[in-house]
Structure 1
Amino acid sequence: MNNTIHGGQAIVDSLQLHGVSRAYVVPGESYLSVLDGLYNADIQTVVCRHEAACTYMADAHGKFTGKPGIAMVTRGPGAAQAYTGIHTAWQDGVPLILFVGLIPVADRNRESFQEFDPNQWFSSQCKRVFILDEVSRASEIVAKAFHAALEGRPGPVVVGLPEDIIKQEFHGQLHPVIPVAEGGVADDKLTIILDALSNAAKPLIFAGGQNWTPEASEQLTQFAEDNHIPVIHDWRASDRVTFDSPAHAGYLGYGRSDECAALIETADVLLTVGTVLGDVASDGYRLRQSFDKPNYIVNLDTSLRGHSGSVTEHIVASPISFTKAISKASLASSDSRDVWFNYCHQQQRKDCALSNQETENISVSADPSYASMTHVIRELVALLPTDAVYSFGAGNHCLWAQRYLPTHTFPSQLSTRNGAMGYSLPAGIVAALESPERLSVVVTGDGEFMMNEAELSTSIRYQAPVLIILMDNQQFGTIRQHQEAHYPGRISGTQLHNPDFAALANAFGAHGIRVASNRDIKTSVTEAMQVVTKERKTVLLHVITDPDELMP
């Protein structure tokens, strides 16, 4: 009996050894051997319609599960279109492995069909670039790619697969999984942190980044609540502490409230867990930049890449190990800390409130030919299950999702921190595939949605129902807002002509609903929820909004 396998099969067998259950692919003739290996594998092959969506799905998978998302594309144009997902994972610090089929080794440096140099293209935006030049190393490189994607600050890894190499016979054993260190918290370091928090009148925890689990989220929440320390979230990472927890103090970044910006400036001690105070969270390196402000940082990245401001103490540990270490700690009570704790949460509740009076005023005064996005979100929130998952990409429509949609468990918010458009639908599909028992809600805009609208077919084909709230204001709204600020009254290059999105959804096999007036909102949202939850069918709610409604 001949047990010989080819290199493509060795790669797939190694993926299974690493616990991979799903791969997101756009097929190409350059890696047919890997596709052949997937034929009988216990790995679901999700065929995507565009390479950017493929890598977005792998990124969302990394965010949602904490394990590297697997994307596969072909050489040249395929790799070029996947680059935006690599940049997204790089800036967000997300574990992702992109397998790229390459030209045969003998064809290199001859300007052969779809030839490119993976190192030159990707090395500035990923942690490692591996090229499989010896079939005997196929399994080893997979193991090293997983380790590189997960160790320290997580990130993307690119693996190049020459077409001729992966066809060759593979001999040898599969390389075992390489353990990844979570770091640790020494007793003396923990004492430093606890003393700083105990002695502070206005301590603040800043949470975000990767390496979180539901348990870590719960432990941080419990510690913060028990010891009356407010938690403010990094941009697009508002699910580390539950939405209605008394410890929740809001979020930083684009769309943040002035009160949240004031909190991080006012805090006399800042404890950063899992992330760094970077460009967006610091309002372009303006917030908390004074070097006399104490900043304690818990992060596995020894380089603290992207951090600005002082570093009082750096503990090299993941949120998982740190929250476990700190979870049983108890601080002495403090009246000043109690006042600060209550104040911070009150600001968050005020900023995130969707009052009946607000929406009643909207329904009376608004133009009857448009529907209010705020009113739509209010009706949606009233019907949402507590474990819903929200996905959104980039654009002003995200402000409604970020501000109002309640996150009650981790993970429940999938988005991008690099402003990548076209992310929302692919990410929502991932949530529906990974946790079919939870409702996956996609909030998108007309410009953002049209960058990957073809993935509606992916949602339908793989029975991954999502509820899509599409804000249609016939423009790239974020850019128009910047335009109005710098060149008022001179709208140029930001207007769009859109299709009937509800009809488009129906054409794909989804359920489209058009909402063009406030009077249609309640019945439309109710219908959408019934179809997506009862019939398990993708629903697109096409919301026609006033072009001047740029923000909540």
Structure 2
Amino acid sequence: MTDPRMGGRCLVDQFVANGVERVFCVPGESYLAALDALHDTPAVDLTVARHEGGAAMMAEAHGKLTGQPGICFVTRGPGATNAASGVHVAQQDATPLIVLVGQVARRQRDRGAFQDLDISALYGGMAKWTAEVDDPHRIPELFARAVATATSGRPGPVALALPEDVLTAATERPDVRATPMQPPVPAPEAMTALRERLAAAERPIVIAGGPHWSERARAGAEKFAKANDLPLAVAFRRQDAVDNDHPCYAGELGLAPNPELAQRVRESDLVLAVGTELGDVTTGGHGLIESPGPRQTLIHVHPADACLGRVHQAALALQADPACFFDAANALAPIASPPWAGAAEAAHAAYRDWIRPLAVPGEVQLGEALAWLAERLPEDAVVTNGAGNYAAFVGRYMRFRRHGTQLAPTSGSMGYGLPAAIAAKLHAPDRPVIAFAGDGCFQMTAQEMVAAVQAGASVVVIVVNNRMHGTIRMHQEKHYPGRPVATDLHTPDFAAQARAQGAHAETVTETGQFAPAVERALAADGPTLIEVRTDPEAITPQRSLSAIRAAALGQKAGG
């Protein structure tokens, strides 16, 4: 037993015991006791967001970067519902996250009390586990379980409801540290079977990326690919799993991937998928790698057994941590004189051709600007984005060299870029952090610019403004050509708005203005916003809006 302490103090002590260094929140009266305890806990930094969705996304990004649970504190009712967008990102992206929700007092539960809400019902379809702490003595136990659950197997979000009177009640229970999980390692006989299948292949390819990735996994993947002359692709929005300049790197299997890469996967006879769940985007809607029975020999490696055999039935399924798997794979004798010799070089050459900037309509050549930025940034720079057609330019023209340099939601959540960038800059203040957003995407969480100013997070936010919801307009023109509805946007002067929030800001209307503006932003003391005004016709790196509309009208006329 320890000396008596209030539940709020006990909870914050669990943060310290479990290595929590930062908490994101929007304050609420339901958890004042915990906020008061944080006042006297310098080991835990507190970042205040302007909206619970932003706080949850910040915490999710922190979890992505560190592999440890991001911690988000929100209040009951509307606070919890606002945070749901970040919880969904964590669920889809397999990110460790703990959402702590202040709750009404126990005696008021289920009585229609002010802002009362069933947290388990709210988050039950998204979270790995939800619970309400109904006894202050159980705070250490349940928080340790939350840490273990969020980080084990397939990582994901956990939600704990904390009744107000639990946080103000006394407890003498000691602190509890979550039991560290030992990463699963592949069985030797499975590695022997893997080599036998690889030796029998003619057109193999490796697809990397997913939870529990690390610099060690990155180095192991690159070593294995080079030793066996294997093309090495990455899953959707996992571009930092592999050095994009590595001679075996083949590109990202994302939205609208390089057709040559897609064809290479389609024609492969063996796919070694490590860490990835092989979702619908990565597999081209399960067209490149069919489900449940792939055409290719599929060897699927994932740290969570629940992800093996869930959608694709593999010829060989290995439950293993990616780094441990590649340690074992690199202990195998490489395949001598493989029939696919030269495939990795050809795949990388195709990738290099793919990232050569294409001309688009308008005074701003976004591909050219981003290609310059990819060369300008250091290897450890962090690049974030949300969702929208602007992200196609980011995914195609930016390059990633190290693990932990890309924060992008596989969930396709708008508004993610800025909160994620704030979390990244607070975690690694010496590294440049660039956030990309479209004009619609940015307006989802634009208020977090004030949070960046208050926190002293010197992020660079690049808002690509084409004055519309570009992705939806593109789909409208594909399916209902010439009939746009609800996709035109009246946008503010984003630079003026950012200056009013206390940030530096500039507007770019032609390509030549982009590089000087970025240089000034990187040198600025404090956050900076650069509004880049692009032509609405420049909807994708390859096709204009008019070309998409004309093709759809032609199909309708011919159909």
With structure 1 as the length reference, what TM-score do the two structures score?
0.94
Q: Give the superposition deviation at 1:458.
A: 1.5
Q: Give the superposition deviation at 1:426.
A: 0.5
Asked if residue 452 in structure 1 is aligned to residue 445 in structure 2, the reply is yes
CA–CA distance in structure 2, aligned partners of residues 350 and 55 of structure 1: 38
The one-letter amino acid paired with 2:250 is A
Deviates more, 1:309-318 or 1:234-243: 309-318
Q: Give the superposition deviation at 1:292.
A: 4.2
The one-letter amino acid paired with 1:540 is L
Q: Is the 8 A contact 1:136 1:172 kept in 2?
A: yes
Q: In the alignment, what sits opposite 1:93?
A: 94
C-alpha distance after superposition, 1:246-293 (max 9, x if no partner): 111111121312222112111211111111222221222222215442
Q: In the alignment, what sits opposite 1:332?
A: 335
Q: Is the 8 A contact 2:269 2:295 kept in 1?
A: no
Q: In the alignment, what sits opposite 2:507?
A: 514
CA–CA distance in structure 1, aligned partners of residues 308 and 49 of structure 2: 32
Q: In the alignment, what sits opposite 1:526?
A: 516
SS of corresponding position for 1:229: coil
Question: Cα gap change, 1:508/1:254 in structure 2, threshold over 3 Å: closer, same or farther?
Answer: same
Q: In the alignment, what sits opposite 1:497?
A: 490
CA–CA distance in structure 2, aligned partners of residues 376 and 138 of structure 1: 51
SS of corresponding position for 2:497: helix
Q: Give the superposition deviation at 1:197.
A: 2.0
Asked if residue 422 in structure 1 is aligned to residue 422 in structure 2, the reply is no
SS of corresponding position for 2:83: helix
Deviates more, 1:298-307 or 1:33-42: 298-307
Q: In the alignment, what sits opposite 1:435?
A: 428
SS of corresponding position for 1:239: helix
Q: Is the 8 A contact 2:53 2:85 kept in 1?
A: yes
After TM superposition, the structure 1 = structure 2 runs for residues 49-448 of structure 1, keeping only pairs within 5 Å, are 49-289=50-290, 290-304=293-307, 307-354=310-357, 358=358, 366-367=361-362, 370-448=363-441
CA–CA distance in structure 1, aligned partners of residues 369 and 177 of structure 2: 50
State the superposition RMSD in angstroms. 1.6
C-alpha distance after superposition, 1:147-179 (max 9, x if no partner): 000111100000110001111011121113212
Q: Is the 8 A contact 2:199 2:338 kept in 1?
A: no
The one-letter amino acid paired with 2:103 is L
CA–CA distance in structure 2, aligned partners of residues 291 and 240 of structure 1: 24
CA–CA distance in structure 1, aligned partners of residues 314 and 495 of structure 2: 51
CA–CA distance in structure 2, aligned partners of residues 495 and 62 of structure 1: 35
Q: Give the superposition deviation at 1:459.
A: 1.3
CA–CA distance in structure 1, aligned partners of residues 338 and 95 of structure 2: 40
The one-letter amino acid paired with 2:533 is I
Q: Is the 8 A contact 1:285 1:308 kept in 2?
A: no
CA–CA distance in structure 1, aligned partners of residues 452 and 330 of structure 2: 40
The one-letter amino acid paired with 2:12 is V
The one-letter amino acid paired with 1:226 is A
Q: Give the superposition deviation at 1:383.
A: 2.0
The one-letter amino acid paired with 1:49 is R
CA–CA distance in structure 1, aligned partners of residues 21 and 342 of structure 2: 48
SS of corresponding position for 2:392: helix
Q: Give the superposition deviation at 1:406.
A: 1.2
CA–CA distance in structure 1, aligned partners of residues 237 and 252 of structure 2: 8
The one-letter amino acid paired with 1:545 is T
CA–CA distance in structure 1, aligned partners of residues 447 and 333 of structure 2: 52
C-alpha distance after superposition, 1:76-132 (max 9, x if no partner): 000001011111111111110000000101011111100111111111111000210
Q: Is the 8 A contact 2:466 2:536 kept in 1?
A: yes
Deviates more, 1:412-421 or 1:254-263: 254-263
SS of corresponding position for 1:479: helix
Q: Give the superposition deviation at 1:15.
A: 1.1
CA–CA distance in structure 2, aligned partners of residues 305 and 118 of structure 1: 30
CA–CA distance in structure 2, aligned partners of residues 74 and 164 of structure 1: 14
Identity over aligned pairs, percent: 35
Q: How many residue pairs end up in the alignment? A: 537
CA–CA distance in structure 1, aligned partners of residues 401 and 525 of structure 2: 22
Q: In the alignment, what sits opposite 2:27?
A: 27
Q: Give the superposition deviation at 1:3.
A: 4.2
Q: Is the 8 A contact 1:250 1:260 kept in 2?
A: yes
State which of 461, 464, 471 in structure 2 corresponds to 1:471.
464
Q: Give the superposition deviation at 1:535.
A: 3.2
CA–CA distance in structure 1, aligned partners of residues 466 and 80 of structure 2: 33
C-alpha distance after superposition, 1:373-410 (max 9, x if no partner): 22321332332222211100110111111111110111
Q: Is the 8 A contact 1:223 1:329 kept in 2?
A: no
Structure 2: stretches of 5+ with no match in the other structure: 542-559
Question: Cα gap change, 1:341/1:474 in structure 2, threshold over 3 Å: closer, same or farther?
Answer: same
C-alpha distance after superposition, 1:395-447 (max 9, x if no partner): 01111111111101111110101111100001111111111121101111000
SS of corresponding position for 1:338: coil
CA–CA distance in structure 2, aligned partners of residues 510 and 415 of structure 1: 23
SS of corresponding position for 1:541: strand
Deviates more, 1:424-433 or 1:199-208: 199-208
CA–CA distance in structure 2, aligned partners of residues 319 and 205 of structure 1: 13
Q: In the alignment, what sits opposite 1:4?
A: 4
C-alpha distance after superposition, 1:126-151 (max 9, x if no partner): 10002100100101111000000011
Deviates more, 1:92-101 or 1:498-507: 498-507
Q: Give the superposition deviation at 1:527.
A: 3.5
Deviates more, 1:193-202 or 1:386-395: 193-202
Q: Is the 8 A contact 1:279 1:306 kept in 2?
A: no
Q: Is the 8 A contact 2:386 2:414 kept in 1?
A: yes
Q: Is the 8 A contact 2:366 2:511 kept in 1?
A: no
SS of corresponding position for 2:207: strand
Q: Is the 8 A contact 1:352 1:403 kept in 2?
A: yes
Q: Is the 8 A contact 2:140 2:173 kept in 1?
A: no
Q: Is the 8 A contact 1:278 1:307 kept in 2?
A: no
SS of corresponding position for 2:340: helix
Q: In the alignment, what sits opposite 1:548?
A: 537
SS of corresponding position for 1:106: helix
CA–CA distance in structure 1, aligned partners of residues 17 and 193 of structure 2: 41
Question: Cα gap change, 1:195/1:305 in structure 2, threshold over 3 Å: closer, same or farther?
Answer: closer
